[in-house]
Amino acid sequence: MTSTKTVTLFVQCLVDSLYPQVGEAMVAIFNKLGISMNCPSDQTCCGQPAFNAGYRKAARAAAKRFIKIFENSESIVCPSGSCVNMVKNHYQELFEDDVKWLERAVQTGQRTYELSQYITDILKIEDVGACCNGKITYHDSCHLLRGLGISEQPRRLIRNIKGAELIEMLESDRCCGFGGTFSVKYPVISTAMVDDKVHNIIASGADIVTGCDISCLMNIQGRLNRIGSSVKTLHIAQLLAD
Amino acid sequence: MNILNYKSEAECAINNPVLQKALANLQERIGKGTAQGYRELPEGPELRLKAHAIRMRSIENLDILLIALADGIRKNGGHIHFAYDGKTALKHCLEIARKHNVKLAVKGKSMLTEEIGLNHALNDAGIETVETDLGEYIIQLAGEKPSHIIAPAIHKTKEQIGRLFQDKLGIAYTDDPPALTRAARKALREKFLQADMGISGCNLACAETGHITTVSNEGNIRMATTLPKVHVAFMGMERVTADLKDHEILFRLLAMGAAAQKMAGYVSYIGGPARSGQTDGPEAFHLIVIDNGRSRILADTDFREMLCCIRCGGCLNVCPVYGKIGGHSYGYAYSGPVGAVVNPLLMGINRASDLCLGESLCGACMEACPVNIDIPRMLLLLRAKLAQGDKTWDVKVKSRVEQVSFAAWSCLIQSRPLYDLFLKTAYHGQKLLPRNNKMISRLPFAGKGWTQSRDLQPLAEQSFISRFKDNFAEKQND
């Protein structure tokens, strides 16, 4: 398969530093699909942590840096719904009083896609030729689902994985309790929420829980590991790369 | 500075299995029913967006609409009072009570009267005040506060209510809900018949007709507002609609948001006292329109949207945080996502800082809102005020330590080499931390909260960016 398309990899900071294998899986998928890639080596963070915590000046500085790095790219693809939501939707809030930057933010946002969305909606591919034997359950991350309206795209990709069975857990669209600094500042509430999520994951009978946001998955995996569960946590890119 | 016991109340609620079950049941039943109800609206779920526009238009023309409402109420023979704050509203109510020599008042459920502390003020003035909504009645007998906007006694079991009624109403113990309801009905019926004053809130008002609308599913509000000789209604100044056309849309969405109903069981349009010849209705009707901080919200275009809220409680029925911590954690009249925005704006942002920060920003509230209020947007703005301070709202910086941390973070992410250096140092530093099945099981400092109940994936030896440079970039260039 060859294509004239080139994607620019926008790598979520958590993927970059904690889960580089997710980034590599994304590279493997695009290699498989014959899409050429570039990855700006000076990228760091889109600014979402600061924005969510209320530090808009710091978030704005991060956003400007992001825009400068990415604005000339044809298609910007990121393996995280919440980062894409930040660039597409929240950058506009950050620059609402700055017409020049607002325009650049909108331009950049229009070309930014979440990975599963890019594969299905732009490349029009629903089967990436992946194999995985196992029962898979899918967690809808909040910003992906409610901010970007993406829920069917990843499910279609999962259903087409050879050997895999997609099992829906109860309340897959309910927040896992991560919420950025919320999870650290209000650990008791956050834990009660992730416990509900983990309960529904285990009750589904799946061997693997997946999703399009490593931040939620990091939360879920952290709890599953603590309680000694054998359910594996994998980012959707890891499933699609095999 | 923060006077709420958000964290401890939340922990209490989480450790209460009865409450957890009740909250889960409420969200399962009403939360999901409402979502289904929106989909089945004849106009489709987009009606919520239309309703948002209707509400915004009303809010932006509030001065005109309130004058028209006042004219209408007066024309219908009622009296209207405008109260700048809660204290003034209480003063108006007590004056009316004195004039009519009121000894006993019966009340329909009203969160606004909770906001201004009406029951307390009436009791202090020697006026017995009885809540007549079954849930509110239970809460009043127990000396507690409501924990849900429309289901105030959600935190109590039938056994607890059985013991409460045995103790307070002197009936034999039973935990049979119909028997308990009958006992409450009997006790309340006597109060209805003796009461000199009926008190209600106001779900909506209509400027075109000069009437207020009350809805209930028990009929208690209708009884409380028609039997006693004087009816005093309390209304938040934002609750007015322009005309019956707007009113009809909001009124349907209110029932859907509140209880997944197409229409509430009892709906009353009240425009004034009974006319001569009418057998039902009070001799006097007073409407007290309350500001109590709402003008300040109106004046700030960032938060004006919050005045669109019609207090249906729909957001409580889907919020995953409310679903765990219940209503008491919010420490004020309003709980759930609406409380997380309204309470800080009414009581002080620093005082209620936990409400602004203690949410996961999942956005479920906005989808459940019958008027599509962007609550997450406003929570983020409140956080910005706490992070940086704000003169208009008298907000002091919440945490200098956090401010410095984010300033440092900001420097770090402006330079990739510096960022790489930080990652490398942290990678080596994390080797000192204990592990559980290859994951970090105890973090120091601010990270403690995470590892209290979860493990953490450790930092990778080589970042993705660096791996890409080494492994992929060159290959592609070959």
Higher pLDDT, B133 or B472: B133
Answer yes or no: is pLDDT of B476 > 90. Answer: no
Residue B3: what pLDDT?
A: 60
Interface touch A196/B407, C-beta < 8 Å: no
Determine whether the interchain pair A219/B362 forms a contact, defined as Cβ–Cβ distance below 8 Å. no
DSSP state of B276: T
Minimum-distance CB partner of B320 among A53, A174, A222: A174
Which residues lie across from A166 on neighbouring strands? A136
Statement: residue B48 has pLDDT above 80:
yes
Query: How close is the nearest chain B Cα to the Cα of A145, in Å?
Result: 10
Q: Is B413–A52 a contact, with Cβ atoms under 8 angstroms apart?
A: no
Rounded to a whole number of angstroms, the distance from the CA of B88 to the nearest CA of chain A is 36
Contact A16 B463 (CB under 8 A): yes
| Chain A residues near residue B407 by CB distance under 8 angstroms | 58
- What are A196's two structure tokens? 């509900």
Please tell me the class of the B41-292 domain.
Answer: alpha beta
- 3 state SS for B359-418: CCCCCHHHHHCCCCCCHHHHHHHHHHHHHHCECCCCECCCCHHHHHHHHHHHHHHCCHHH
Percent helix / strand / coil, chain A, rounded to 5: 55, 15, 35
| Residue A117 to residue A87: CA distance in whole angstroms | 15
- Gap from A96 CA to chain B (nearest CA, Å): 12
Residue B116's pLDDT band (boundaries 50, 70, 90)? very high
B205, two tokens: 């008002």
Q: With a cut of 70, which residues of chain A have pLDDT below it?
A: 1-3
Name chain B contacts of A55, Cβ cutoff 8 Å. Answer: 384, 387-388, 403, 406, 410
The answer to which of B326-340, B359-373, B461-475 has the lowest mean pLDDT is B461-475
B406/A53 CB distance under 8 A: yes
In chain B, how many H helices and how many E strands?
Answer: 24, 12
Neighbouring CB atoms inside 10 A of B302's CB total: 15
Cβ-defined contact of B456 to A19 (cutoff 8 Å)? no
Name, in order, each residue with C-beta under 8 angstroms of A111's C-beta and a sequence gap of 6 or more.
A73, A74, A75, A76
Q: Which site among A11, A17, A215 would you substitute to test the B interface, given the most B Cβ atoms closer than 10 Å to its Cβ?
A: A17
So what's the pLDDT on residue B147? Answer: 86
Whether residue B363 and residue A187 make contact (CB cut-off 8 A), yes or no, is no
Q: Which of B366, B413, B446 faces A184 most closely, judged by CB atoms? A: B446
| Locus of tokens 């990415």 | A70
Instruction: Provide the pLDDT for residue B1.
Output: 40
Residue A170 burial by Cβ neighbours in a 10 Å radius (0-12, 13-18, 19+): middle
B47-60 and B62-75 helices, crossing angle to 10° = 80
Query: Do A218 and B456 make contact, defined as CB atoms within 8 angstroms?
Result: yes
How far does A186 lie from chain B, in Å, by closest CA?
A: 6
Residue B149 has pLDDT above 90, yes or no: no
pLDDT number for residue B478: 46
Report d(CA A51, CA A46) in Å as an integer. 10
- pLDDT of B342-362, one tens digit each? 999 999 999 999 999 999 999
Tell me what pLDDT residue A2 has.
53
| A186 contacts B449? CB cut-off 8 A | yes
Computed over its alpha carbons, how large is the radius of gyration of chain A? Answer: 17
Domains of chain A and CATH, by start: 6-120 (3.40.50), 130-241 (3.40.50)
Mean pLDDT confidence for B371-397: 98
The partner residue sitting opposite A54, judged by closest CB among B384, B452, B468, is B384
Closest CA relative to residue B14, chosen from B199, B194, B155, B151 = B155
Q: Which of A184, A224, A231 to mutate to test the interface with B (most CBs of B within 10 A)?
A: A184
Which residue of B lies nearest to A20 if distances are taken between CA atoms?
B464
Mean pLDDT along residues B421-426: 97
Chain A: nearest CA to B116, how far in angstroms? 29
d(CA B375, CA B353): 15
Tell the burial category of B392 from Cβ atoms under 10 Å away from its Cβ (0-12, 13-18, 19+): exposed
Q: What is the ipTM of this complex?
A: 0.97
What are the structural domain ranges in chain B?
41-292, 400-477
Helix-helix angle B47-60:B244-259, to 10 degrees: 120
Q: What is the rounded average pLDDT of the residues B165-174? A: 97
Top pLDDT among B34 and B146 is at B34
- Copy the structure tokens of residue B478: 């070959």
| pLDDT at residue B150, rounded to an integer | 85
The closest CB to that of B453, out of A27, A53, A223, belongs to: A223
